[in-house]
Chain A
Amino acid sequence: MSTNPLIKIEDLHTFFYSKAKQAFIRAVDGISMEVPRGKTLGIVGESGSGKSITMMSVLGLISAGPGVIRGKVIYDNGRIKKNLLQGLDDFVDLQEHDGTIMQVDKDLYGWQQHSEQLMKNIRGNEISIIFQNPKAAFNPFTVIGEQIAEMVLLHTRINDPVAAKAKALYWLERVKMDAPEVRYYNYPGALSGGMAQRAMVAMALASEPALLIADEPTTGLDATIQAKVLQLLAEIKADLGITIMIISHDIGVISSLSDYVAVMYGGTVLEYGSAKDVLSTAYEKKHPYAKALLASIPGLENIEKNGARLKAIKGEVLDTIRVVEGCKFASRCDCMTDSVKHKCNTQQPPLEDIGGGHKIRCWLYQ
Chain B
Amino acid sequence: MKVSAIKPITFVLVKEIGMTVLLLFGVSIIAFLIILASPGDPFAQLYGGLSGSEAERKALYESLGIPTTWYGQYFSWLGNVLQGDLGNSIRSGRPVLAEVVSAGINTLYLTLGALIVTLAVAAPIAIYTAIRDNTRLTISFNLFAYMISAIPVFWLGYLGIYLSTHLFGFFPLGLGSSDSGNIAKFLLPIFILGMGSGLISEVVRHMREQVSRVMNEEYIRTARAKGAAVWKHAFKEGFLIPVTEIMAIKMPFIIGGAIIIEQVFNWPGMGRMAWQAAQDRDFPVILGITLAAAILVRLSSLLHKIVFVSVNPRASHL
Contact = CB atoms under 8 A, between A and B. Distances in A.
Indicate if A touches B (C-beta under 8 A): yes
A131 B222 contact: yes
Given A139-B219, A151-B226, A185 B1 contact: yes
Interface string A98-134: 0000000000110000000001111111001101010
B224 interface: yes
B9 to A, nearest CB: 13
A102 B222 CA distance: 32
B312 interface: yes
Contact of A154 (B219, B226, B314): B226
Interface string B109-149: 00000000000000000000000111100000000000000
A11 to B, nearest CB: 24
Given A65-B133, A137-B218, A185-B1, A124 B314 contact: no
Nearest to B5: A185
B237 to A, nearest CB: 6
Nearest to A136: B218
Contacts of B224: 61, 63, 123
Nearest to B236: A141
B314 to A, nearest CB: 5
A124 B218 contact: no
Given A129-B225, A154-B228, A109 B132 contact: yes
A22 B276 CA distance: 58
B235 to A, nearest CB: 9
A123 B226 contact: yes
Interface string B29-52: 000000000000000000000000
Contacts of B314: 140, 187, 189
B151 interface: no
Given A108-B133, A141-B312, A131 B221 contact: yes
Contacts of A190: 313
Interface string A53-78: 00000010101010000000000000
A10 interface: no
Nearest to B233: A139
Contact of B226 (A109, A121, A124, A140): A124
Given A61-B221, A137-B219, A138-B222, A123 B227 contact: yes
B311 interface: yes
A137 B313 contact: no
Contacts of B219: 136-140
B43 to A, nearest CB: 52
B221 A137 contact: yes
15 contacts: A65-B133, A121-B227, A123-B224, A124-B226, A124-B227, A125-B227, A136-B217, A137-B222, A139-B219, A139-B223, A139-B233, A140-B314, A150-B226, A155-B227, A187-B313
Interface of B: 1, 132-135, 217-219, 221-228, 233, 236-237, 311-314, 317
